[in-house]
Structure formats: structure tokens, C-alpha cells
Amino acid sequence: MPSKKSVAPKPALTAKQFKESVVKHLRSTLGTYEEKASNQAWGQAVAAAVNEFVYDGVSRTRKTHAGKNARAVHYLSLEFLMGRLMSNNLQNLGLYEVAEQALKDLNLEIADILEEEPDMALGNGGLGRLAACFIDSMATLNIPAVGYGIHYEHGLFRQEFHKGRQVERPDQWREFGSPWEICRPESQQIVKLYGYVETVYDQGKISKVWHPARTLRAIPWDIPIVGYGGQNVNVLRLWESRADKFFDWDVFNSGGYVDAYAESVQAETVSKVLYPNDETEAGKELRLIQQYFFSAASIADVMRRYKAAHGDDLGNFAKLNAMQLNDTHPAIAIPELMRVLVDEEDFAWNDAWAMTRETFSYTNHTLLPEALEKWPLKLIEKVLPRHMEIILEINSRFLTQEVEPKWPGNDDIKRKLSIVEEGEAQMIRMGHLSAVGSHTVNGVAQIHSELVKKDLFPELDALWPEKFVNVTNGITPRRWMKACNPRLSTLIEKHVDTDWPRYLEKLEGLKQFADDTDFQKEYMAVKRANKEDFVKVIKELTDVDVSADAIFDVQIKRLHEYKRQHLNLLHIMALYRRILIDPSYDMHPRVFIFGAKAAPGYKLAKDIIFAINKVAEKINSDTRINDKIKVVFLPNYRVSLAEKLIPASDVSEQISLAGKEASGTGNMKLALNGAITIGTMDGANIEIAEEAGKDNVVIFGMEVDDVVALQNKGYNPAEYYRNNEELKAVLDWLEGDFFTPGEPGLLASVKHNLVESDPFMVLPDYEAYSEAHKKIDALYRNPKAWARAAIINTASLAKFNSDRSIQDYADYIWHIDGVPAAKK
């Protein structure tokens, strides 16, 4: 392996100096003193001490990038699932051990202080967590970059269970503010909405003027993103929505105290909640406004900074600015940049379009039709009248100038490729808009990228074969091993270079110890200690007693049918039934652990959560099975909970229907920390199996071609229900009152979905899944073989470093180099 320059962060001060800084901030910043301070106050004081380094890094990084006239990346994402920042910032600055000792000297435990920080839960799942990993890697690789999103007052939601059912509560992540964010009012922007478009004729020239009926102020909040080693500190800029005026003084004085604030309340709604329920027309409208709000504010901000450095000459705008669309949520940014260039900067259409295409690239994250956004044309016309005109013009020119020459006279192809979907109500296909308006489109795993070309956009691939590429997703090993699994990190550093959190390929050095008995014992002792820690977490959160001797079998991801938590449930029920039939049934004890939130309007997903909880209640209280099975559904699954669970996991459930999961990143985090994957040939599972070796994962079920063949043949789920006695028996349990005594039918919706339609083919994969679990059981009973497989997984995951992903984006999509900030 070629030698690489060490980037392991070195502490900038001693524990004594850090302690003095913390105490200084406790007194002078927070106005309290040691004997009185709460853990929350101590946490804020530690954050203030850390921020001395963080904000100095922000200043140095900005000054360096401005001086170098560097090309910059602007990463537009509706989600950034950041989690907690204290531990990550301390690790990346090389201050974790310093802070730990300083706090011990103050009779405090760092773990207690870290627990005071709420999760920055500005995301739903993989999309937002990926964005968080990517901006960490951009800073680590010294890439000039800004993440852009929304400063939600509440995160997704705080999940509670009431009698087994999911209940959504507001997520108060910044109820008392956040020490990591800073407001930048000098960079606020005005965002326009509604109104009408005037066509102006002046000396033979036609121009368009948008007269908005409403305006919002976009207030930026910056969250510093510290790269590993602390040299570069980029920012995540999140936009908060406020009214153009605070309240109507005249209405207030006349006694309309509530009405006086109506405009302010309405404006603040835009950044109030992540993913408002869009089952209503008002919900759809709010979602569209959210997407436009942050896209427009971000483009205005990029334009402001460009003009501050280069004046009004936009000739180099695309050369110095790359904008990455993280899924279709920011797709409206494409017509917004066109509007700015054509209407405000007086560009000719063709020049503006060339610049727009050169600026944007688009990451596709899904093949599911319902997840590829479509907006009613009438809605866009109402909210963004000028943008609707621009979209129609983009579509017209695209069809006549690019599609027609390739397929002359072929109206079927035009209908497939049109950004406007015809039907009872015309819809705007945001995936098509993103692909047409970008210079590059990437998928996020090798199989997914191939399916994007083959199934999703085959005609666009034929039109522009060079446009579609793959960049396999990755995770940051700083958070997802070094910070969250310190025991394993310490073990690794005894045997390989301390730079492994930056150069993950150095973990390959562990392979030489995979068969070493002493190393296996050390490795499994780490896993055991992590499991014992998590036993306490389970007890605290669910009041369920579990044993660390059991296999911890984990499925953690948002609740969706295609992720097939209900396949896992059917197998759990089958195991339970086998033990009831034969109490001597031979299996190693297993704890099945779920963590997932269902979208508030997704009824079946919420029904699956309810079913898992009711089955868990029955199994966990049934003494006949001698604790061979326990089922735990962790409430309010989030990043900070994942950081405790993932190091304790034995088995990683990655069981989506082949061809439906774009990539997944939970599979990478779990495998890196030594969990054995049980999974389908889907998403990044395929590449994990290639890297770790198929002997070190357990693959089951249909592959993509099998799924297609069964669909073409005419899939009838009732046949599988009738022909498998075990499957029929457990499905029938769901319709009766076995798990809901005295209330038959409460779980029936899950059965009916599977027997009547089963859109994600749970039943055809059931037998293979059941057999795969027998392999897991047999492997775990062979401690040496299990330890070897776990070690090989940890040692083989270098490909899934988000640093590698971002380097691929930088080399093949953004064409950008790192620019290290000047050292202090």
C-alpha cells in the first residue's frame, strides 16, 4: 500500500488548557459557575470552547477559497440528517481525549455531557444521512463546498408508541437554540411567490416580468462542518422562512391581535416541519413552496457571492460553480436559474440554457414511481407562474431540437420523454426535468445506475449515453466507527495505522488477523461489550429484558413496503410457531431489533409497525419459549440511537426486493462494524458481497431478472399463501385475535396486502429467507467462523468510504480539486 501523508488530527492544546477554556466560557459566556452549572450548561460551555477552533477554521477556509478563486460545489438537499455534532467535532479536531480528560478533572463524564445534545434531525433516512456524510467528506477532502437546505424548526417528528401504534410528536431539536449554528442576517434573501407574469414589448424586444403576490424572507443559519484533521471547515447553510414584515401594526392597534400576526405565522410555516403531510391540496402546495424557497434562496446566495468577487460579468459562473441536486426535491432550481439569467441578467435563452446545464448535475436515488416527484401543472402555474412558462419552454425546445432529430416523427418517444405528462391532469415530471437540465446524472450503486439507464430513462440514455454514470454511496468512518465504536477503533489502532479514519483501505491490514485466535477473541470481546451496553439501552427505552448472549438481529431503516420489514415479521412469527409446536426446536436465542419511522400518511407502514409491536408483546411475555426469541421495536429511531445500536449488531437485515433499493447506507455502517449481512442482491448489497466475499455474507432470494420474469408471468400471491402451510398459518394469525386478544382483525390489513397484491413480492422470497436464517444460525454457533466473517467485513469496506464517493464526484462530475485552508 503506498504511503500517504498523515492527517490524524493532533490536539491544539492540553487538557489543562481546554479545562480553563471551558470554565472561562461557563462563567463569561453562560453567566454561571461550577457549583451551580447543570450538565446542559457544561455542554454549552464545552461547545463554546470547541467553537473557538471551529469558527477560526471557518474564517481561514473562507479566506483561502476566496483568495484562490476556487471552483465551489453547492450541494442542494431537502434533508441533512446530522445527528449530534459535539463528538464528531471533537474527533475531527483531535480534541476528544483532551476534552474527556478535562471533564474528568472537573468531575464530569464526557458521555453524560454528550447526551445533553439533541439530534439535529433535519432528515428522514438514507437521503439525509448520506448528505451529512458527504458534506463531512467534502470538508475532509478540502473541497470548497456549501451544503444548502432548510432550517426546520422541527425535525421529521419524534416517534412514540401508544398501545403499539405510532404517534407523531413535534421534534424540538432547537427548543433552546443550538451552539453549533450562527445566524447570518447580512446574507438574507427575498423569495417571491404567486402573482402573475407580464409580457413587456420594448423596441422589438420581448421580456417577461414576474409580479409576485407574496414575498418571504430567507434567513440563513450556518452550521460549520469540520473536516477530519480540522484544516478545512465548510458550512451547511440552512434557510429559515420569515415574513417580509413582522406584523400589521394597524390591525394590531384596532384589536386584531391574532390577525396582526397572520402573515408572519403563514411565512414561518414554510420552514416549520420537514415533509408536511401532502395528502391534502394545502399540503402539496406547502411542499412545493418549501422546495422552491430553499432552491431560490440558495441560487440567490451563490449569485450574490459570485458577483461580490467578480462583478456583473457572469461569463465564468458555470466554471466556478457546480450545483448538485440531491434527488428531485431541488429540481425547481433549474428553471429558477434560467429565470434569473434570462429575466434579471438579460441572457439570451440559448446562452442561459448552456450555462444552466453546465452548472447542474443530478443524483437519482430511487426507481420507485411514487418517489419520482410529479407536480400538477396547475399547482406550479399558481405558485410559480413564471417558472411554469420556463418549464414549458424548456420542454418544447428539448422535444423539437433534441428528441425530434434523434427519433423523427416518433410521438410515442416524445410522450415518454416529455417533462409534461399528459393525462386527466397534466403533471410535471421532476425527474425528467432534473435529467434534461443537468450535464450528468448518477445513480448510487452499480446495479441501481444500470437500472436507471435500462428501466427508468432508457431513451435519455440512448440520447445522451455519456450523461449517465455511477457513484456508489459511502459513509464517513469518522462518525460510523471512530466516534461511535471507540472500543473497536482502539483495537484497530493497535494493529494498523492510526490514519485509517481517513484512508479506510488501511483496514485491509486486518485480514491477516482474521484467523488469529487471539485477535478473534479481542474482536468479539469488543462486540460483547457493545452488546452489554445496548442491553441497558433496550431496557431503558422499552422495558424489555434481553441477553447479550443472543444474536442481535437488526433492521433499521424507514418503514416502507419495499424494505420489507413485514418479511422479517413473518419469519419471526414462523420461528415462534415452530417453538410452540416443538418446544425443543433448536435455535440460538435471537433478539430481533427494529428501528423505523413511518410517514404520517402511510397507513400500511403504520399498520406494519403496529403488527410488529403486537407480535412483540405476545412473544416477549410468553414463558413457553424460554427467551429463545425477543422482539424489540425501538421508539424514535435516530442518528444518536443508531450510533449505539450499530456497534452492538450481529446481523444486518438488508432484505428489500431486488431492484428496489437504490443503494442503502445502513448496510455499509453495519458491515463496517462487523455485522453479517443477510440480504438480497439489491443496491449496495451486491458490492458489499463482492468486497467482503460471498462466504462472509448470506445472500438469498430472487434477483432482478427473476423479479421481472415473475411479474411478466403474472404473479399471484394467493398461490404462495395456499401452497406453504407455515406461511398460511402465520398470515392467518394476523387475521384472528391471537396477537390482539378479543379484537380480531386488527392486524388483518397486513395479511390482505400480502395475499391480495403483495407488490414487493414478500411471499415468493419467504422460503429462501427462512433458509438464509438457518445459515445465520449455523454460522453463529461456530464462533471462529463467525468471528472470521465479521473481521473480514470490517477489513473489506474501504470502497464504501464517503471520501471515495466524494472523490468520484470531484473527479468525474464536478471536475474540482481540493483547496486546503491556510494553517493557523
Residues designated as active site: 365, 557-558, 563, 665, 669
- The residues near 739 (Cβ < 8 Å, ≥ 6 apart) are 611, 614, 615, 617, 618, 733, 747
Residue 271 CB neighbours (<10 A) = 24
**C-beta neighbour count of 207 within 10 angstroms:** 12
DSSP secondary structure of 185-198: GGG-EEEEES-EEE
Query: Residues of 513-550 as b/e, b for ≥16 C-beta within 10 angstroms?
Result: bbebeebbebbbebbeebbeebbeebeeebebebebeb
Closest CA to 274 of 377, 161, 164, 173: 173
Q: Coil, helix or strand for 478?
A: helix
What are the respective helix, strand and coil percentages of the chain, to the nearest 5? 50, 15, 30
d(CA 144, CA 816) in angstroms, rounded, equals 9
Angle at 707 between CA 703 and CA 713, to 5 degrees: 145
> Side chain identity at 645, as an amino acid letter?
L
C-alpha pair distances (Å), 445 with each of 35, 76, 167: 54, 20, 34
Which among 347, 341, 293 is positioned nearest to 321, based on CA atoms? 341
Q: What is the 3 state secondary structure string of 248-301?
A: CHHHHHCCCCCHHHHHHHHHHHHHCECCCCCCCHHHHHHHHHHHHHHHHHHHHH
Distant-in-sequence, close-in-space partners of 185: CB < 8 Å, separation ≥ 6: 219
> Is residue 343 within 8 Å of residue 210, measured between CB atoms?
yes
Q: What is the DSSP letter of 810?
A: I
12: nearest Cα among 110, 89, 108: 89
Could you list the beta-strand ranges (E) of 321-388. Answer: 321-326, 360-363, 374-376
**Ramachandran class of 658: left when φ > 0, alpha when ψ lies in -120 to 50, beta otherwise:** beta
**Per-residue cell: 534:** 445496548
CA distances from 626 to 121, 148, 493, 539, 553 (A): 38, 52, 40, 18, 18
Q: What angle do CA 467, 469, 474 make, to 5 degrees?
A: 145
Backbone angles phi, psi at 162, to 5 degrees: -120, 110
Residues in the chain: 824
Is the distance from CB of 120 to CB of 128 less than 8 angstroms? no
- What are the strands, taking DSSP E only, across 621-673? 629-634, 651-654
Q: Do 147 and 77 contact (CB within 8 A), yes or no?
A: yes
